[in-house]
């Protein structure tokens, strides 16, 4: 299904999304970060052991290789913590990284959601709330782990293609919609997500809806935990007519493709803010300010 056209352009979609989320990845070309294979690390370990044992522990000789400078802090600030040359380099790296991230930050303030949604933040969790004719609707998402991972070949292609361009990172969190009616005992809860092949950012064709419902269930109002004893409707094997009615139900409450797109933008912005905050905190911790 849908393959007549989609199969012809599917490759283009993958290539176009290849550059995503490499901007803040640690530099792949950095040799110290290239994880060594066991084949290269083992001989080195063994030669150290041989060096040590051949001299013998009782000879009184201590290899200088073992007297690490790490144990002798080179900088002291009186905080009681460890300060090394590595920490200094780390701090400098973070200063540059924060500067870069602040530079690419589109806006200091978060983008507004259209449709009268009110935003509440609790750490990395965001909650959008509104009331429609007596019904309460809330949409909750967490920005942690909301950036889809890339495939290796995509990153390679992206690097070749994009050159110096800053790739764009998009946060696509799963989100939970809770609809509460005054007269109803339980809330109707929708577990939604952004299907992965929608990450093409407008380039090429793809075959998924912008967002999709994964599960639907009745849950006690406001409960943070998903009650496993409540019947949960999985949309994988659902009658599609019922699925469409559920999507129309959400659209009537302002949760449609436009909403999903704005949510993606908001989540991306929150994620970036939190990332910068984390870097600053990390910098403070490393430098011990």
Interface with another protein (CB under 8 A) = 1-2, 4-6, 9, 202, 205-210, 240-241, 244-245, 247-248, 251, 256-258, 261
Burial of 221 (0-12, 13-18, 19+ CB in 10 A): middle
| Least gap, CB of 267 to another protein (angstroms) | 17
Q: Are strands 232-234 and 212-219 parallel, antiparallel or unpaired?
A: antiparallel
- Nearer to another protein among residue 80 and residue 202 (C-beta): 202
Largest CA distance in the chain: 86
Residues 94 and 279 sit within 8 Å (Cβ to Cβ): yes
| Least gap, CB of 247 to another protein (angstroms) | 5
| Least gap, CB of 3 to another protein (angstroms) | 8
Residues 159 and 22 sit within 8 Å (Cβ to Cβ): yes
- Nearer to another protein among residue 9 and residue 110 (C-beta): 9
| Least gap, CB of 111 to another protein (angstroms) | 15
- Nearer to another protein among residue 11 and residue 257 (C-beta): 257
CA–CA dist 204, 181 (Å, integer) = 41
Residue 179: strand pairing partners:
137, 188
- Nearer to another protein among residue 105 and residue 257 (C-beta): 257
CA–CA dist 2, 4 (Å, integer) = 6
| Least gap, CB of 281 to another protein (angstroms) | 36
- Nearer to another protein among residue 22 and residue 200 (C-beta): 200
């Amino acid at each position: 299904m849908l393959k007549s056209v989609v199969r012809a352009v599917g490759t283009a979609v993958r290539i176009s999304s290849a550059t995503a989320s490499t901007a803040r990845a640690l530099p792949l070309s950095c040799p110290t970060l290239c994880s060594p294979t066991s084949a290269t690390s083992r001989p080195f370990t063994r030669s150290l052991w041989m060096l040590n044992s051949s001299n013998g522990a009782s000879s009184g000789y201590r290899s200088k290789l073992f007297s690490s400078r790490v144990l002798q802090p080179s900088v002291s600030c009186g905080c009681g913590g460890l300060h090394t040359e590595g920490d200094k380099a780390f701090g400098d790296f973070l200063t540059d990284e924060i500067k870069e991230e602040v530079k690419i930050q589109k806006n200091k303030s978060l983008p507004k959601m259209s449709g009268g949604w009110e935003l509440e933040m609790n750490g990395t969790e965001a909650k959008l709330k509104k009331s429609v004719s007596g019904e309460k609707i809330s949409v909750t998402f967490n920005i942690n782990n909301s950036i889809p991972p890339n495939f290796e070949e995509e990153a390679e292609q992206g690097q070749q293609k994009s050159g110096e361009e800053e790739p764009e990172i998009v946060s696509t969190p799963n989100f939970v919609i809770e609809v509460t009616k005054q007269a109803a005992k339980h809330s109707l809860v929708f577990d939604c997500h952004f299907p992965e092949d929608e990450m093409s950012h407008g380039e090429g064709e793809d075959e998924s809806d912008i967002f999709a419902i994964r599960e639907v269930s009745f849950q006690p109002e406001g409960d943070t935990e998903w009650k496993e004893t409540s019947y949960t409707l999985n949309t994988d094997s659902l009658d599609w007519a019922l699925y469409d009615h559920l999507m129309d139900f959400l659209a009537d409450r302002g949760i449609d493709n436009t909403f999903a797109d704005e949510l993606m933008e908001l989540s991306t912005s929150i994620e970036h803010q939190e990332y910068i905050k984390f870097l600053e905190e990390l910098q403070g911790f490393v430098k011990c300010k």
